[in-house]
């Protein structure tokens, strides 16, 4: 049986300890083969071969987390039906709405389903978030009685169950201080009751985690420490420590939410409604109901609701929200449009080329969330280390509590107190989150710039890259020829371009498109052509305004109208610059010629120089002829290997790796597939849906050569951030471990060493979102 895959949105998962508990619990379900949990994406992905998915959902909800399936019919299994009992009330501090999964998974009246499984409304519930759409905000999807998925708004964390529990615990603590002053004889009992307000839900989560295979959870350590403190007479401290623990968890949730929302905020760029053009009029429909091929009207100043192409109209479009391009881009019929960008001064009619679930922004969000689920080598090492670290600290706490009183006659209360404090230091949350928090922030920051990186392992490998091999056409160059020179032997340049354009009218050949674009740019009206034809390997012919014309290669033109030596020398000089020359002949006489070249991208030269300045070796690998490739190479200042077949490019990548270099290959992701696969990191360059992400490890979506350097820089900054995070996590724990044993600090600072370090590490990772 082939493996099935089911993805879930998880509510209330705020730290690496949460993810670890969920991972452990789900892996123990029979039939589950692989589990991927992302704190920052708030997702769980389960690969299985016929596992009981109802049991998976029960295991997760029993730990105190909300769970709702992100339904994909081709992959999803039967979701969990509702229990007969009341809403799940674990008391853990999380909001848990009862999830009616049957309504989510099955078709019901008033809905139609996209091929990817997204449920679309035939009525206008625009404020609903559907399974096909990435959820936004701190909370995961919750399903109401009507079967619709609802999501808590991003700023509403203070209304969450976790916030209410923290406030209740804080109020109980304030009441305990007041009551303790009034009835000092009952001080211990009063503070014990105040502690239980916060501890009971924490202890319940601890027991469920232990039953699910995680005995050394922070909740278990917290429970033992609090109960132990009450037993030795430190009830006031126990109540305060539980309150500080809940405050820390709340702050962790806010910090995790910021990282999560940084990428999901992209989905807010797409408008909720679109104007569908049909039957000579327009009507508003929810943007999620746009189908491929629909004709959409976009008015001036409105956001474009779908990926598509311009049918009618000319305007400028602000693509900064999606591509980062600061200058508005002119759009005319045939040009590509991206969902979420802003139309300028004129109305545009467009044809949709993607559904809302598969537009550029949705694909970016989906790819980044999936990348966040994959673990980097450093993260895997930290996970292995933490499995030994926590039991070691528990054993150390036991030794600190028992050895001095038993062997040296020290006071039991003092050393048990120190042992309990060490227990609180023992949770590895900050250490475990140090890597995924930084990687998630980096992936989100990259995605906002059009840099897609397939996970932490690729991000780490990019830091080691010291050689970059570039494809030429479409990577270092624009990928489409442009007319660079028009030379008229008689008459004007405009006349030569007018006649050449007339011959090429209607052709889709790249050189013909270049000539037609040049004529259009100069505002030249093209006359009609009669008896148009093409001569294989030579050029095109036709009759224009009674004149017999030919446009083709210099050799073919020379057969019809011999060219003098100086003309041939000029053509040879242009050929040496990598330009293709087409000679125009009229009635047996040469009128002039046009030179065309696939021009380098505007930022290519500066981007390559920046890479060289960093000590990174660059080389261009191309199948083009040597003369054209050398000309482009000279302009850009890059080593050239030309006239290569795909297997040759793959061989050269192998040779570079054999020299001890870590090689990144940048290409279009299709023609360069063997070389992309052979490189240490394959980077596809292209625009939006054209990029072949299946082949490459990463992608530069917006065709800027400088973005390759930006990707390498992002990797270096991310790894530096990870080192800082590990230093913060281990440093704080080591400091408080020493001060606790020395008797300088107690339970309060110990809990701050855990939750405080987690918040600091997450905040440090979020600095990567600011970019540079």
Q: Which residues are part of the catalytic machinery?
A: 471
**Residues 6 or more apart whose Cβ sits within 8 Å of residue 376:** 435, 436, 439, 455, 456, 457, 459, 460
Structure tokens at 707: 């973005």
Structure tokens at 557: 């033109």
Please tell me the distance from the alpha carbon of residue 309 to that of residue 349, in angstroms, as a whole number: 9
CB-based contacts of 261-264 (< 8 A; 24+ apart in sequence): 261/136, 261/137, 261/138, 261/154, 262/441, 262/444, 262/445, 262/448, 262/766, 262/769, 263/41, 263/364, 263/365, 263/368, 263/369, 263/443, 263/444, 263/447, 263/448, 264/134, 264/135, 264/136, 264/137, 264/365
CB atoms within 10 A of CB 158: 12
Please tell me the distance from the alpha carbon of residue 222 to that of residue 217, in angstroms, as a whole number: 9
Structure tokens at 143: 């399903």
Rounded to the nearest angstrom, the gap between the alpha carbon of residue 332 and the centroid of all alpha carbons in its chain is: 30
Place of tokens 């509510």: 11
Beta strands 4-11 and 639-641, pairing class: unpaired
Please tell me the distance from the alpha carbon of residue 529 to that of residue 106, in angstroms, as a whole number: 60
Please tell me the distance from the alpha carbon of residue 306 to that of residue 288, in angstroms, as a whole number: 9
H helical segments located in 577-695: 604-613, 626-636, 646-658, 673-678
Beta strands 663-667 and 467-470, pairing class: parallel
The phi and psi torsions of 13 (rounded to 5 degrees) equal -90, 105
Rounded to the nearest angstrom, the gap between the alpha carbon of residue 22 and the centroid of all alpha carbons in its chain is: 23
Sign of CA dihedral 413, 417, 420, 422: negative
Beta strands 681-685 and 698-700, pairing class: parallel
Strand, coil or helix: 398: helix
HSE-CB of 250 using CA atoms within 13 angstroms = 22
Please give the angle made by the CA atoms of 54, 90 and 165, to the nearest 5 degrees.
145
Please tell me the distance from the alpha carbon of residue 286 to that of residue 341, in angstroms, as a whole number: 17
**Are 586 and 549 in contact, with CB atoms under 8 Å apart?**
yes
N residues, the chain: 772
Beta strands 308-312 and 281-286, pairing class: unpaired
Beta strands 336-337 and 315-318, pairing class: unpaired
H helical segments located in 742-767: 747-751, 757-766
CB atoms within 10 A of CB 60: 25
**Are 685 and 703 in contact, with CB atoms under 8 Å apart?**
yes
HSE-CB of 605 using CA atoms within 13 angstroms = 9
């Amino acid at each position: 049986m082939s493996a099935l895959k089911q993805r879930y949105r998880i509510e209330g998962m705020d730290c690496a300890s949460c993810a670890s508990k969920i991972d452990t619990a789900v892996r123990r379900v029979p039939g589950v083969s692989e589990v991927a949990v992302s704190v920052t994406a708030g997702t769980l992905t389960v690969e299985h071969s016929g596992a009981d998915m109802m049991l998976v959902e029960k295991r997760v909800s029993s730990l105190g987390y909300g769970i709702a399936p992100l339904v994909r019919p081709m992959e999803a299994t039967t979701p969990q039906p509702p229990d007969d009992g009341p809403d799940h009330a674990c008391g853990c501090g999380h909001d848990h709405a009862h999830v009616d999964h049957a309504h989510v998974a099955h078709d019901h009246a008033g809905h139609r389903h996209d091929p990817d499984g997204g449920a679309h409304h035939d009525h206008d519930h625009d404020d609903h978030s559907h399974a096909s759409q990435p959820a936004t905000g701190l909370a995961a999807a919750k399903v109401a009685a009507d079967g619709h998925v609802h999501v808590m708004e991003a700023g509403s964390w203070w209304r969450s169950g976790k916030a209410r529990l923290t406030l209740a615990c804080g109020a109980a603590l304030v009441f305990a201080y007041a009551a303790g002053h009034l009835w000092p004889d009952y001080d211990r009992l009063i503070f014990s009751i105040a502690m239980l307000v916060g501890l009971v839900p924490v202890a319940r989560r601890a027991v469920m985690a232990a039953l699910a295979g995680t005995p050394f959870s922070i909740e278990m350590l917290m429970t033992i420490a609090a109960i132990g403190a009450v037993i030795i007479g430190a009830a006031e401290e126990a109540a305060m420590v539980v309150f500080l623990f809940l405050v820390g968890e709340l702050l962790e949730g806010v910090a995790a939410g910021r990282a999560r929302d940084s990428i999901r905020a992209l989905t807010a760029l797409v408008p909720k409604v679109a104007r569908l053009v049909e039957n000579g009029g327009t009507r508003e429909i929810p943007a999620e109901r746009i189908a491929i091929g629909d004709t959409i009207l976009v008015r001036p100043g409105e956001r474009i609701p779908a990926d598509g192409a311009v049918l009618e109209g000319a305007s400028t479009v602000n693509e900064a929200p999606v591509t980062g391009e600061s200058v508005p881009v002119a759009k005319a019929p045939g040009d590509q449009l991206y969902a979420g960008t802003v139309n300028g001064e004129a109305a545009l009619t467009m044809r949709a080329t993607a559904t809302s679930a598969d537009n550029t922004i949705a694909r970016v969000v989906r790819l980044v969330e999936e990348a966040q689920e994959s673990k980097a080598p450093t993260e895997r090492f930290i996970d292995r280390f933490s499995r030994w670290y926590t039991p070691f600290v528990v054993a150390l706490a036991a030794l600190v509590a028992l050895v001095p009183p038993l062997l040296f006659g020290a006071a039991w209360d003092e050393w048990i107190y120190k042992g309990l404090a060490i227990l609180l230091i023992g949770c590895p949350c900050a250490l475990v989150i140090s890597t995924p928090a930084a990687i998630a922030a980096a992936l989100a920051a990259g995605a906002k710039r059009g840099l897609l990186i397939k996970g932490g392992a690729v991000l780490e490998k990019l830091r080691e890259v010291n050689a970059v091999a570039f494809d030429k056409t479409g990577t270092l160059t624009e990928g489409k020829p442009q007319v660079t020179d028009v030379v008229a032997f008689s008459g004007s340049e405009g006349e030569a371009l007018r006649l050449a354009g007339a011959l090429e009218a209607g052709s889709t050949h790249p050189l013909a498109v270049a000539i037609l674009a040049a004529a259009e740019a100069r505002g030249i009206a093209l006359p009609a052509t009669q008896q148009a034809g093409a001569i294989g390997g030579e050029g095109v012919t036709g009759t224009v305004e009674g004149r017999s014309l030919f446009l083709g290669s210099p050799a073919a033109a020379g057969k019809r109208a011999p060219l003098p030596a100086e003309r041939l020398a000029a053509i040879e000089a242009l050929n040496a610059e990598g330009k293709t020359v087409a000679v125009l002949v009229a009635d047996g006489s040469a009128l002039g010629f046009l030179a065309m070249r696939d021009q380098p991208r505007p930022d290519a030269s500066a981007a390559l120089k920046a890479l060289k300045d960093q000590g990174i070796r660059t080389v261009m690998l191309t199948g083009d002829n040597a003369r054209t490739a050398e000309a482009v190479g000279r302009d850009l200042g890059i080593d050239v290997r030309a006239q290569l077949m795909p297997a040759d490019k793959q061989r050269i990548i192998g040779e570079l790796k054999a020299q001890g270099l870590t090689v990144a290959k940048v290409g279009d992701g299709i023609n360069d597939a063997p070389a992309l696969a052979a490189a240490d990191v394959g980077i596809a360059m292209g625009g939006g849906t054209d990029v072949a992400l299946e082949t490459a490890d990463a992608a530069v979506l917006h065709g800027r050569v400088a973005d390759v350097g930006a990707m390498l820089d992002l990797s270096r900054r991310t790894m530096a951030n990870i080192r800082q995070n590990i230093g913060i996590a281990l440093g704080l724990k080591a400091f408080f471990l020493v001060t606790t044993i020395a008797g300088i600090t107690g339970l309060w600072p110990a809990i701050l060493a855990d939750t405080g370090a987690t918040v600091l590490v997450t905040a440090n990772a979020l600095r990567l979102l600011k970019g540079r």
